[in-house]
Structure 1
Amino acid sequence: MRHGFGRLRSARIGVRAAAAAALVISVLAVAGCGSEPHAAGQQTGDLNKLDTGGYSTKPQDPTTSDPAKRGRILEGLRLGNILPLGFEIDPMLAHNGSGAHVFTEPNSFGGYINIDHFADDARGFVTGFATSAHPSEDASVGYTLTNAVLIFDSESSATSAAAALARSGFSLAGKRPETLPVQSSQHPAAQIIWAPVEQKLAAWDPVGKLVIFTMIDQVENYEVERAFGISPEPAPLTLADKAIDVTADRLNGFQPTPSDKLAALPLDPDGMLRLTLPRPAGDQTSEAFPGTLNQHGMLHIVANPADYRALFDRTGVDSVSDGAGFLVRTRDASSAEAFLDTASASRFQQRIEPPAGLPTARCSKYYGPDDHAAPFHCYVAYGRYAATVWSQQQQDVYQRISAQYAILANNN
């Protein structure tokens, strides 16, 4: 089993397999790697001996300087908590291709979708959430399904945007490939385009104020056709129809927040962010979600969601927040320790000494094939919480995990 409890993978819609592989960040293989179980309550940290550097050591109520934008991000996270995982659309899609990805700006919706005229094409756009998956750990095998939902300020805006975005089409290496329109009998309102040479299909289906976006990138077919001159496969319309159906079913009952109410969305409804080590200003160590996700939403982040669903169920994970690391809330203290027994184990990580004053921390240095992986990771449990931090520097990762532990210990 692999997981993404380190630096999040960059999430660009529709990135070709070779590029996507280069963007994978800190994806760790953890199944059957000889984890070392820790009994809950054996030892505790000594707050007087912790080196926390300049990091906060007390819980802090989160604030924002831009409530309107933060509201759009929180609305996007609401989508992430309900949208289907790849393997729920097609059981073959066992491996996530990107992390949780809220997007409020067109450049975040880029990749191979033409966004040159996004501001005009998508008038009334509020926010969105995207996820992707593929059948193999090797993203060059099979195909990649990208699934997203965009929220608009009105039904008319959504309908207009679906048509306009389809007209703008794809943009590959500065050129626009030839595309053909495709009609779905199951979704007659959907705007669908097919690029046969590139083996890419994209669909925009307006549903009320929402647009369901589905893109299928048949990476392996494209490479075979390019290498051997084999005729391109037909458009994968059946899979697109299924993705739209499953997504639309999940959206039943979802009510977009009125635009004038977005700024009032609660920033920290579960009290998780106040317990999470804040990311320092200018920190570029992750492209993470700025908020909290529930158990289902977090499964968009991890590499192998089916495996992690079992772990989350077993340990009662119900909320995950992000700051200078991840904070996971489990059922109880023993569940937090059990969670870390799996999350901290990796055949690519070599255990190193914990920081002074924190003997319960599990720290390691990464020795593996991913050049983008953060070299240092530390994990610790406190009560029902399990924390993960990472850094380029050993001293910094020690200070981060020490500060995160202190925040939890100082929560009165």
Structure 2
Amino acid sequence: MAISILASAGCGSESGAATEKSVDVSKFDTGSYPTKPQDPTTTDPAKRARLIEGLRLGDVLPVASDIDSTLVRNASSTNVFVEPYDFDDMINVDHFADDAPGFTVGFATSGRPAKDPFLGYTLTNAVMIFDSEPAAATAAAALVRRGFWMADKGAQVEPVQSTQHAGAQMIWAPTEQRFASWYPTGRFVIFTMVDQIENRVVEHDLGVPPEPAPLALTDKAIDITLDRLKTFQPTPSDKLTALPLDPDGMVRLVLPRPAGDQTANGFTGSLDHHGALHTVGDTAMYRALFDKTGVDSFGYGGGILVRTKDETAAQYFQDTAFVSRFQHQIAPPAGLPSARCTKYHGPDEHAAPFTCTVSFGRYVATVVSQQQQDAYQRISAQYAILANSK
């Protein structure tokens, strides 16, 4: 399971930063992790290119709170997806290859009003890129016929028509309280789903027509997404592999992801300050923090690397972003006293037990692990990579 490291935050804490000159990276225990920057390579150029295209898309798409300001809690388990099964909690992917030939990549974001997933409703908004306009139109029609992921369980589904977006293909599942739309535009398909979880849980309002709330919200999501897509030019299919592997130099500096590792959102790449909002817990809080500290890029690998405007901003980010009442501080790894390491004691059964953070210059790094020693080795190696990049 991908772990969102920036899921929660609290007030600032007392800084334990040490001067860089007092640290001897040659004495670190880094295990088998590398300690120097590595230019990214790939054994699958086509798949890697699709991933980079998806991250480019994420940098422009709205987060849920851009569509409805009350949806400040990130509810995404998946952001960028190059395979349909990465998005199978939202759409029926059993016949995706037949239904959606020409699919390139997608990016999804999701939000709800509260940390409790059973309060209010969840909005999921995604864009899928196809290799041609006809492929996108064909896919939208096929996917709406296939319906929700639980369609094979016999869920009742009714068609809905938008007066604002005649080309949108929409369905409403009253017993499930789910409303979904597939809207083809150019090489894109905009997928929007409103999941009225609280209604379903308390079993009221079942069967009420989706007008006005889910339909009006979906129309708004489509309009805002269309406006953002004006700034995005999809890469021609035959040019995808020419996309740079490390467009802003962050991937070479982030700790490489070990084979099979699914921490730090489960992908390797970078997002800009807006794109990174799709991956954090409280988008309103982090938007303000990004602005205050001048964050311009996030790198994702075997941890997360954040680039701020300067050293002071990086230290403030570290002291602010990674504080939670469920994180109890433990000793830092040997030789790296400025690292802040914690062990999780709280209600989230999916939370990684151990987290370590550290700042270096204008960068802030964070890693998580199931094992304390592995967390120590990861943060030590990440610090060494930054120190050796000078």
TM-score, scaled to structure 1: 0.90
Which of the numbers 102, 106, 109 marks the counterpart of 2:84? 106
Q: Distance in 2 between matches of 1:251 and 1:195?
A: 29
1:333 aligns with 2:276: no
For the 8 Å contact 2:8–2:282, the answer to whether it is kept is no
Q: Distance in 2 between matches of 1:287 and 1:299?
A: 12
Q: Distance in 1 between matches of 2:250 and 2:317?
A: 17
Equivalent residue of 2:51, what SS?
helix
For the 8 Å contact 2:54–2:106, the answer to whether it is kept is yes
1:156 aligns with 2:147: no
Q: Distance in 1 between matches of 2:25 and 2:149?
A: 54
CA gap 1:332/1:345 in 2 versus in 1, 3 angstroms: same
Q: Distance in 1 between matches of 2:76 and 2:195?
A: 14
Equivalent residue of 2:357, what SS?
strand
For the 8 Å contact 2:6–2:279, the answer to whether it is kept is no
1:232 is matched with which residue? 207
1:81 aligns with 2:93: no
1:12 is matched with which residue? none
Equivalent residue of 1:139, what SS?
coil
2:72 is matched with which residue? 94
CA gap 1:306/1:188 in 2 versus in 1, 3 angstroms: same
Q: How far apart are 1:326 and its partner, in Å?
A: 0.4
Q: Distance in 2 between matches of 1:305 and 1:38?
A: 27
For the 8 Å contact 2:79–2:109, the answer to whether it is kept is yes
Q: How far apart are 1:359 and its partner, in Å?
A: 1.1
CA gap 1:215/1:231 in 2 versus in 1, 3 angstroms: closer
- Identity rate of aligned residues, in percent? 62
1:66 aligns with 2:44: yes
Letter paired with 1:31? G
Which of the numbers 217, 226, 230 marks the counterpart of 1:252? 230
Q: Distance in 2 between matches of 1:357 and 1:39?
A: 13
Q: Superposition pairs for residues 178-257 of structure 1, below 5 Å?
A: 178-225=156-203, 230-235=205-210, 236-257=214-235
2:363 is matched with which residue? 385
Which of the numbers 284, 305, 309 marks the counterpart of 1:306? 284
1:16 is matched with which residue? none
Q: Distance in 2 between matches of 1:256 and 1:294?
A: 17
Q: Distance in 2 between matches of 1:301 and 1:97?
A: 9
Q: Distance in 2 between matches of 1:284 and 1:108?
A: 13
Equivalent residue of 1:369, what SS?
coil
Q: How far apart are 1:311 and its partner, in Å?
A: 0.6
1:146 is matched with which residue? 124
Paired positions, count: 387
Equivalent residue of 1:372, what SS?
coil
Equivalent residue of 1:299, what SS?
helix
Q: Superposition pairs for residues 122-133 of structure 1, below 5 Å?
A: 122-133=100-111
**Structure 1: stretches of 5+ with no match in the other structure:** 1-6, 10-24
CA gap 1:40/1:319 in 2 versus in 1, 3 angstroms: farther
Letter paired with 1:233? V
Letter paired with 2:207? P
Q: Distance in 2 between matches of 1:185 and 1:77?
A: 32
For the 8 Å contact 1:221–1:232, the answer to whether it is kept is no
After superposition, the C-alpha distances for 1:207-226 in whole angstroms (9 at most, x for unaligned) are 1111111011111111222x
Q: How far apart are 1:40 and its partner, in Å?
A: 7.1
Give the RMSD, CA atoms, in angstroms: 1.8
TM-score, scaled to structure 2: 0.95
Q: Distance in 1 between matches of 2:209 and 2:18?
A: 56
**Structure 2: stretches of 5+ with no match in the other structure:** none
CA gap 1:257/1:296 in 2 versus in 1, 3 angstroms: same
